[in-house]
Amino acid sequence: MGESTKANIRSHCVGTTAVVYASDYLNKLTGERIEHECRKQLDSGARALVIDFSDTELVNSIGVSILLGIIDVAEKNGAVVVFSDVNNDTVQLFEMLGLMRHVVLAKNEQEAISNLSGQSQAMGH
């Protein structure tokens, strides 16, 4: 039951990095789905989370507050969070809400993964 209810969130893993795709509108409902997926990936041993916003057109403040919750949980698990492919409007919104201080941005998913793998190698993992 737990799996099937959140089936709409796409995700995959590249090594210890989990890539989770946000939907077109990030609100309470879709935010909670992402949160659930991220928690699941962290519980499964992911050391980095890439949240990809390539499909995301609109984000509301509840969605942002859930993203902050994800960052919080990731930090407690010692995992890094990268947001990829965030459009300018959403970046502006994140800036307004001070979210940018807590997250790294990448142009796209590939850049995020390659940055994370570079970091990982540098740290000797």
Q: Does 55 sit near another protein (CB under 8 A)?
A: no
Return left, alpha or beta for 78; rule: phi > 0 is left, psi -120 to 50 is alpha, else beta: left
78 binding another protein? (CB under 8 A): no
**Burial class of residue 45 in the structure, from the number of CB atoms within 10 Å of its CB (0-12 exposed, 13-18 middle, 19+ buried):** exposed
Could you give the CA distance from residue 88 to residue 42 in angstroms, rounded to a whole number? 28
Structure-token pair, residue 28: 């309470």
Rule CB under 8 A: say whether 72 interacts with another protein: yes
Q: How far is the CB of 48 from another protein (least distance, A)?
A: 19
Residue closer to another protein by CB (options 33, 47) is: 33
> What is the C-alpha to C-alpha distance for residues 64 and 27, in angstroms, rounded to an integer?
8
Contacts to another protein from residues 18-47, by CB under 8 A: 25, 27, 29-36
Residues in Cβ contact with 44 at an 8 Å cutoff, skipping those fewer than 6 apart: 18
Among 22, 42, 71, 86, the residue binding another protein under the rule CB under 8 A is 71
Q: Please tell me whether residue 88 binds another protein under the rule CB under 8 A.
A: yes
* Interface positions with another protein (CB under 8 A): 1-2, 4-6, 25, 27, 29-36, 58-62, 64-66, 68-69, 71-72, 88-89, 92-93, 96-99, 101-102
